[in-house]
Amino acid sequence: MREKVIWQPSPNFDDRGEGVPTDMLVLHYTGMETGTAALARLTEEVSQVSAHYFIEEDGTIFQLVEENKRAWHAGVSSWRGEANINARSIGVEIVNPGHELGYRTFSDNQMASVSELSKDIVQRHGILPTHVVGHSDIAPARKQDPGELFAWDKLAAIGIGLWFPQGWAADLTLSSLSVGDGGRPVQRLRGFLRGIGYTVADIDMFDEELVAVLKAFQRHWRPDLIDGVADSVTQSAAEEIFNKSVRLTPSKTQLT
């Protein structure tokens, strides 16, 4: 794997901090018109942004920052109660113009490189499936990447991240929840999302904060419908991913 990576150093990094584990993998899209422009931005000092790796549409992999250093890719973000995501994560930028500039499917060569690189990173650092996320997962109010066209299911098939078991089916008897709803069903949904890793308040109201988090959840686990409404499928999906998270990290994932 390492022999396939091209070294293209960025000046935008610093130390991770003593005793901070590298226990997350965060995937992004570049959100710029071309890969060339994105690589230039990530490697120029004035931008103050970077990532550890950068994957072109033809599958070429560049490394910009050493893994033992903190790259500046996550911004204001949080996951599973941790806020300093840059300090504990490996960041991978994947070339795609994004939602504002012509969002499109990630190429087969690109996904092959994402899969190979991600598997290598996860195995070397012992990163749990619960800690493989998109930028939108850790910053749902600000970000949409890598978005609904990213093949999370294919990554999960090789052990990278969480997905549904074969034959999984939603409980279609659940009543839909949306802005203005409240009570125990909303509190239960918030508990599922919080247990997965999202930062959501422990209240029983369906508000705009919950809409943003649900859209992030849907981009990752229900990409066919991103509306911020918790219909029966979205609620069932949240419960399933929560339950899988519990089985992997029972001491840290609790439903309240």
Buried b (16+ CB within 10 A) or exposed e, 69-78: ebbbbbeebb
Considering the domain architecture, whether residues 24 and 115 belong to the same structural domain is answered as yes
What is the model's pLDDT at position 254? 40
Rounded Cα distance, 206 and 180, in Å: 6
Considering the domain architecture, whether residues 152 and 178 belong to the same structural domain is answered as no
pLDDT tens for residues 146-200?
A: 999 999 999 999 999 999 999 999 999 999 999 999 999 999 999 999 999 999 9
H-run or E-run covering 134? strand 132-134
Q: Is 148 a catalytic residue?
A: no
Q: What predicted TM-score, i.e. pTM, was given to this entire model?
A: 0.96
Tell me the one-letter amino acid at 126.
G
| Beta-carbon contacts of residue 231 (< 8 Å; ≥ 6 apart) | 174, 176, 177, 225
Whichever domain contains 113, its CATH number is 3.40.80.10
Which of 56, 93, 148, 240 is catalytic? The answer is: 93
Considering the domain architecture, whether residues 51 and 135 belong to the same structural domain is answered as yes
Rounded Cα distance, 139 and 135, in Å: 6
pLDDT tens for residues 79-121?
A: 999 999 999 999 999 999 999 999 999 999 999 999 999 999 9
Considering the domain architecture, whether residues 229 and 177 belong to the same structural domain is answered as yes
pLDDT-based confidence at 1, cuts 50/70/90?
low
What is the model's pLDDT at position 99? 98
Buried b (16+ CB within 10 A) or exposed e, 165-192: eeeeebeeebeebeeebeeebbbbbbbb
Last residue within a domain, chosen from 142, 157, 172? 157
Considering the domain architecture, whether residues 229 and 131 belong to the same structural domain is answered as no
Provide the domain limits for residue 239.
164-256
Considering the domain architecture, whether residues 131 and 239 belong to the same structural domain is answered as no
Residue 242: what are its φ and ψ, rounded to 5°?
A: -60, -50
Considering the domain architecture, whether residues 103 and 123 belong to the same structural domain is answered as yes
Considering the domain architecture, whether residues 116 and 203 belong to the same structural domain is answered as no
Considering the domain architecture, whether residues 73 and 58 belong to the same structural domain is answered as yes
Considering the domain architecture, whether residues 38 and 141 belong to the same structural domain is answered as yes
pLDDT-based confidence at 255, cuts 50/70/90?
very low
H-run or E-run covering 94? strand 89-94
Last residue within a domain, chosen from 110, 132, 157? 157
Rounded Cα distance, 234 and 164, in Å: 13
pLDDT-based confidence at 229, cuts 50/70/90?
very high
Last residue within a domain, chosen from 111, 128, 157? 157
Residue written as token pair 């509190």? 187
Whichever domain contains 170, its CATH number is 1.10.101.10
Considering the domain architecture, whether residues 21 and 112 belong to the same structural domain is answered as yes
The mean pLDDT of 61-67, rounded to a whole number, is: 98
Considering the domain architecture, whether residues 140 and 193 belong to the same structural domain is answered as no
Enter the tokens of residue 114: 């994402």
| Beta-carbon contacts of residue 108 (< 8 Å; ≥ 6 apart) | none
- What total of structural domains would you count in the chain? 2
